[in-house]
Structure 1
Amino acid sequence: MSALPTRITPSADHDRLRDAVRAWLAANTPAGWHDELKTATKERFRAFNIRQAQLLRSAGLLATHWPAEYGGGGFSFREQLIIQEELVRADFPQPRLLEISLAHIAATLIAYGSAEQRAHLSAILDGEIWCQGFSEPEAGSDLAALRTRAVRRGDVYVVNGQKVWSSYADQASWCLLLARTDSDAPKHRGLSMFMLDLDSPGVELRPTRQATGTEEFCELFLTDAEIPVAHRLGEENAGWRMAQTTLATERVFNILELQARLAVALDEIAVRARVTPAGVGRTAADDASFRQDLAARAAEVDVLGLLGQRLAQSVELTGEVGPEGSIVKLMYSETLQKLTGLALRMQGMPAMLDERREFATTWTSGHWMIDHLKSWNWTIAAGSNEIQRNIIGERVLALPREPQP
Structure 2
Amino acid sequence: MTQIVTPHRSADDIPDLEALRADVRAWCELNVPTDWRESQTGATAEQFVEFQQRWFSTLRAGGLAVPHWPAEHGGGFTLSEQAVLFEEFARAEAPRLVLQFISLHHAAATLLTAGTDKQLAEHLPAILDGEVWCQGFSEPEAGSDLVSLRTRAVRDGDHYVVNGQKIWASLAMHADWCLLLARTSVDAPARKGISYLLMDMKSPGLTVRPIKQSSGEEHFCEIFLSDVRIPVSNLVGEENQGWQVAQRTLTSERGATMVELSERLAVGYDWLVELARTTLGDDLATDTRVRQDLAALATEVSGLRILTARAIAEAEAPVTARSGGGASASVIKLYYSELLQRLTHYGMQLTGLDGQVADEKPTSAGWESGHWLLDYIGSWEWTIPGGTSEIQRNIIAERGLGLPREPVTT
Same fold at TM > 0.5: yes
1:150 aligned to 144, 148, 153, which one?
153
Tell me, yes or no, if structure 1 residue 225 matches structure 2 residue 217: no
Task: Give the equivalent residue in structure 1 for 2:314.
Answer: 314
Secondary structure of 1:152 counterpart: strand
Q: Tell me, in whole angstroms, the C-alpha distance in 2 between the residues paired with 1:106 and 1:77.
A: 16
Match of 1:355 in 2: 359
CA–CA distance in 1 between the matches of 2:285 and 2:120? Answer: 53
Give the gaps of 5 or more residues in structure 1: none
**In the alignment, which residue of structure 1 is the partner of 2:104?**
102
Partner of 2:12: none
Distance 1:84 1:252 in 2: 14
Match of 2:393 in 1: 389
* Distance in 2 between residues matched to 1:33 and 1:106, nearest whole Å: 27
Matched, 1:38 2:7: no
Q: Which amino acid aligns with 1:135?
A: S
Identity %: 50
Correspondence list, 1:164-313, <5 A? 164-277=167-280, 283=283, 286-313=286-313
* Mapped contact 2:142–2:148 kept (Cα < 8 A): yes
Structure 1 pair 285–240 and aligned structure 2 pair: CA distance change class (3 A): farther
Q: Match for 2:115: what amino acid?
A: G
Partner Cα distance (2:182, 2:284) in 1:
51
Name the CA distance, whole Å, in 2 between partners of 1:162 and 1:291. 49
- CA distance 1:330–1:344, change in 2 (3 Å): same
Match of 1:368 in 2: 372
Which structure carries more relative contact order (alpha carbon 8 Å, separation 6+)? 2
My pick for the range that moved more, 152-161 or 257-266, is: 257-266
Partner of residue 54, structure 1: 57
Amino acid at match of 1:98: Q
Cα distance change, pair 340–373 in 1 and its aligned pair in 2 (3 A): same
Instruction: Give the TM-score taking structure 2 as reference length.
Output: 0.93
Distance in 2, Cα, partners of 1:254 & 1:13: 22
Q: Which of 388, 404, 407 is the equivalent residue of 1:403?
A: 407
Q: What SS does the corresponding residue of 1:117 show, helix, strand or coil?
A: helix
What residue is the counterpart of 1:10 in the other structure? 7
> What is the match of residue 80 of structure 1?
82
CA distance in 2, matches of 1:384, 1:244: 14
Work out the CA distance in 2 between the residues paired with 1:8 and 1:272. Answer: 35
> Is residue 326 from structure 1 mapped to residue 323 from structure 2 by the alignment?
no
Q: Shift of the alpha carbon at 1:296?
A: 1.8
Letter in 1 for 2:53: I
32-41 vs 52-61, which moves further: 32-41
Aligned equivalents of 2:100, 2:315: Cα separation in 1? 22
Paired with 1:31 and 1:97, the residues of 2 have a C-alpha distance of: 20
Cα deviation 1:341-394 (Å, max 9, x = unaligned): 111111111212233212242111000000000000011111110111111112
> Any conservation in 2 of the 1:163–1:219 contact (CA below 8 Å)?
yes
Distance 2:4 2:333 in 1: 32
Measure, in 2, the Cα distance between the counterparts of 1:164 and 1:285. 48
Partner of residue 111, structure 1? 113
Q: Secondary structure at the match of 2:33?
A: coil
Offset of residue 5 of structure 1: 7.0
Asked if the contact 1:273/1:285 (under 8 Å) is kept, the reply is no
1:262 CA drift (Å): 1.3
Q: Give CA deviations for 1:188-233 in whole Å, capped at 9, x if unaligned.
A: 1111100000100111100000011010000011111010000000
In structure 2, relative to structure 1, the CA distance for the partners of 1:239 and 1:284 (3 Å cut) is: farther
Which deviates further from its counterpart, 119-128 or 268-277?
268-277
The question of whether the paired residues in 2 share the 8 Å contact of 1:53 and 1:94 is answered with: no
Contact 2:106/2:253, CA 8 A, preserved across alignment: yes
Q: CA shift at 1:49, angstroms?
A: 0.5
- In the TM superposition, what is the alpha-carbon distance from 1:326 to its structure 2 partner? 1.1
> Retained in 1: the 8 A contact 2:52–2:364?
no
Q: Conserved in 1, the CA contact under 8 Å of 2:185 and 2:193?
A: yes
Deviates more, 1:331-340 or 1:302-311: 302-311
The one-letter amino acid of 2:25's match is R
Bigger drift between 108-117 and 353-362 goes to 353-362
> TM-score, normalised to structure 1's length?
0.94
Structure 2 contact 79–256 (Cα < 8 Å) conserved: no
Give the count of matched residue pairs.
398
Please tell me the root mean square deviation across aligned C-alpha atoms, in Å.
1.8
Deviates more, 1:306-315 or 1:80-89: 306-315
Distance 1:6 1:399 in 2: 50
